[in-house]
Structure 1
Amino acid sequence: MSSLITRRHAIALGSGAIGALAAPHILSAAITTNLEIWGPPVGPSAVLAHAVKIGALTNVAPDAEVRVKVWRNPDELRAGLTSKNIALSVVPVQAAVNLYNKGFPIQLVNIMTKGLLYVISTNPEINSLQALKGQSLVVPFKGDTPDIILDRLLENEGILQSTDVKNVGTPIEAVQMLVSGRIEAALLPEPAISAAIMAGKQKGLSITRVIDIQEEWGKLNGSDPIIPQAGLAVTGSFVETHGDIIPALHDGLVQAADATLADPMAAAQAAAPAMKLPVPVIADSIKHSHLGAWKASELRGPVETMLTAMGEVDIKKIAGKLPDDGFYYF
């Protein structure tokens, strides 16, 4: 396997409490120690790291050191949130909804990617959903967002039963199978895709993004090509103690997202230590991750479209219902 791809690069994703979140945001105590912002080992964390590097968050907590930390899998994230070791983090939207609907005090501040899913292959002729019919396709994280989205798309095309879809535990396993020629295609998120492409080059293979899943999702729903997979979420305890900094934090991330898109290499250099990925991989992935920072309520429509699809597969995925207004910080 390429030196660019190693195991450590694998990617993972009560009513009283909810009512408290809906209360007006109160001026809070200044942060004088450290401000930790967590994120996944994917594109939005590059925005977080670049925000620190360019000083976009300086005014958010002027007396504190802002640190970016990366969780490695959804289990680590959930454990950190429930134990209060993680108070501020970019999270999969579905994971935040599940916690919120179960009574855990958490709110979605913004969306930081409009989708980073693609089908990749060594065969350029597999360039449409119909072309997947009869092919072997690997998808990581069974039952999570990529798997559910793919099932809905293949079902709509009438080829779900005639496509050999296999599930694996992590993107790294899918990349290994594709590079070794054991499968025809893989549905993956960035930056695993950029890593796979670079690994393929080292083996003399041309791996390309053959299907843009965001585009296909937009066609299915008659909407813009948006899959709002992840965004910044904040716990109730953080809102109570430091809620007044959240608007400034969001504004800083808007600035950092623009700077990240303008100079992916600089953002990648800032993010590499935390994400534990090679700088060229992160830089390439930024170009294909539809990064930004949009207030959560601005993308509520696409969020609910995605969640509805998940609920139709298994209502437990969203803890029984769409989230109410209190889920959206603003």
Structure 2
Amino acid sequence: MRVGAALAALAITTLVAACGSTGGTAASGGSAAEVRLGYFPNITHSTALVGVEKGLYAKHLGSGVKLTTSTFNAGPAAIEAVFSGAIDATYIGPNPAINAWAKSKGKAINIIAGAASGGVYLVVKPEINSVEDLKGKKIATPQLGNTQDVALRYWLNEKGLKTDTKGGGDVHIVPQENSQTLQTFATGDIDGAWVPEPFASRLVLESKGKILQDERELWPNKQFVITHLIVRQEWAKAHPDLVKKLLEAHVEATKYLNDDPAGAAETVNKAIEKLTQKPLKPEVLASAFKNITFTNDPIASSLTGSADHAIKVGLLQPVDLNGIYDLKPLNEVLAATGQQSISDK
């Protein structure tokens, strides 16, 4: 989920060049009888977790198509897999998609559906009661330039507080892995963190943190994209039938998540346990699940907003996102199930 980090950008640029010049099955999308799907073992990727665990992708793809899944822990790794032709589609956060689009000059990926909105908070120590109280404090984010890092820097900037990429300024931002943040917050080495679920709920429930800012409150209609589904353009153009079948499963998974939240939460936790050997505690699962909205809408306006925020805080060069969405296949699937079409604006 990195935006503008030099090493990631260099790796991606190299991979784009390689992808554009490589022949054979990787460049052409592999066999038409296989779909290679990526996702994270994370509650914000519940659409994918449900789709795999409940066999929805397998059902819609049919017995003649093999589903191969890969899990990732960070956006840059997933994007590298897309660019190298190792996977055909992946669930991912907004800033990796922006970065991929920018580095490939709009030639590598398209966003074809939304997946999740919300579920991001600034959690702080109990004695911190206002933005002003953050001066001189250490606040963690998952990664320099990632979606939450950009959100925090922009929010602080709007409040008149300065930051820099080296941890200086009025508020000292400390990029670190979410698992490390759980430890450093508990030990008092940091004063708060801008993090996604389930880490926000864990900071509150396990370390007596309190929510200072719900990111939903900063967006129109309290909605912003945290996860969406992207495809490799070359593969999608070669196999539109598989794209549509993939979306049929996606739409059914989204419906299940909304129609049966309790059952879906149990399914998601079972999937997380299989992938990580560590299921979420019941109270954390319940808290995190209710804080996320599962939706087919990619909330396009928030993607543009995220890009503008990253540009304003100096973590992204200006980029034209026109054409990044291809929602025609999704809207065909939605129409077939009697659901309203979704705009890319």
Q: Deviations over 1:220-278 (max 9, x none)?
A: xxx22223133100002321332223234224323312323412122221333235542
Q: Is contact 1:41–1:72 with CA below 8 Å preserved after alignment?
A: yes
Question: Could you say which residue in structure 2 is the equivalent of 1:290?
Answer: 293
Taking structure 1 as reference, are residues 87 and 128 closer, same or farther at Cα in structure 2, changes over 3 Å only? Answer: farther
Distance, in Å, in 2 between the alignment partners of 1:276 and 1:129 is 38
Task: Report the number of matched residues.
Answer: 287
Question: Could you say which residue in structure 2 is the equivalent of 1:8?
Answer: none
Question: Could you say which residue in structure 2 is the equivalent of 1:98?
Answer: 99
Taking structure 1 as reference, are residues 133 and 326 closer, same or farther at Cα in structure 2, changes over 3 Å only? Answer: closer
Question: Could you say which residue in structure 1 is the equivalent of 2:174?
Answer: 167
Comparing 256-265 with 86-95, greater Cα deviation is found at 256-265
Structure 1 position 83, deviation (Å): 1.3
Normalised to the residue count of structure 2, the TM-score between the two structures is: 0.73
Partner of 2:320, secondary structure, is coil
Question: Could you say which residue in structure 2 is the equivalent of 1:328?
Answer: 326
Comparing 189-198 with 135-144, greater Cα deviation is found at 189-198
Distance, in Å, in 1 between the alignment partners of 2:153 and 2:271 is 36
Correspondence 1:8-27 to 2 at 5 A = none
Correspondence 1:150-299 to 2 at 5 A = 150-160=152-162, 163-197=170-204, 200=206, 205-215=207-217, 217-218=218-219, 223-261=220-258, 262-263=261-262, 264-280=265-281, 281-282=284-285, 284-294=287-297, 296=298, 299=299
Taking structure 1 as reference, are residues 250 and 132 closer, same or farther at Cα in structure 2, changes over 3 Å only? Answer: farther
Structure 1 position 127, deviation (Å): 4.9
Structure 1 position 287, deviation (Å): 2.3
Q: Is contact 1:308–1:322 with CA below 8 Å preserved after alignment?
A: no
Q: Is contact 1:70–1:275 with CA below 8 Å preserved after alignment?
A: no
Structure 1 unpaired stretches of 5+: 1-13, 15-27
- Look up the equivalent residue of 2:116 and give its one-letter code: T
- Look up the equivalent residue of 1:190 and give its one-letter code: E
Correspondence 1:298-309 to 2 at 5 A = 299-309=299-309
- Look up the equivalent residue of 2:185 and give its one-letter code: L
Q: Is contact 1:46–1:270 with CA below 8 Å preserved after alignment?
A: no
Partner of 1:229, secondary structure, is strand
- Look up the equivalent residue of 1:321 and give its one-letter code: V
Distance, in Å, in 2 between the alignment partners of 1:247 and 1:312 is 37
Partner of 1:187, secondary structure, is strand
Distance, in Å, in 2 between the alignment partners of 1:260 and 1:325 is 29
Q: Is contact 1:100–1:327 with CA below 8 Å preserved after alignment?
A: no
Normalised to the residue count of structure 1, the TM-score between the two structures is: 0.76
Partner of 1:110, secondary structure, is strand
Distance, in Å, in 2 between the alignment partners of 1:327 and 1:78 is 17
Identity fraction in percent: 16
Q: Deviations over 1:148-184 (max 9, x none)?
A: 2112211222233674323223122222111002222
Distance, in Å, in 2 between the alignment partners of 1:321 and 1:214 is 25
- Look up the equivalent residue of 1:302 and give its one-letter code: S
Structure 2 unpaired stretches of 5+: 1-12, 14-28, 164-168, 329-345
Partner of 2:292, secondary structure, is coil
Higher relative contact order (CA 8 A, sep 6+): 1
1:137 and 2:144 aligned: no
Q: CA RMSD in A?
A: 2.9
Q: Is contact 2:111–2:324 with CA below 8 Å preserved after alignment?
A: no
Taking structure 1 as reference, are residues 167 and 303 closer, same or farther at Cα in structure 2, changes over 3 Å only? Answer: same
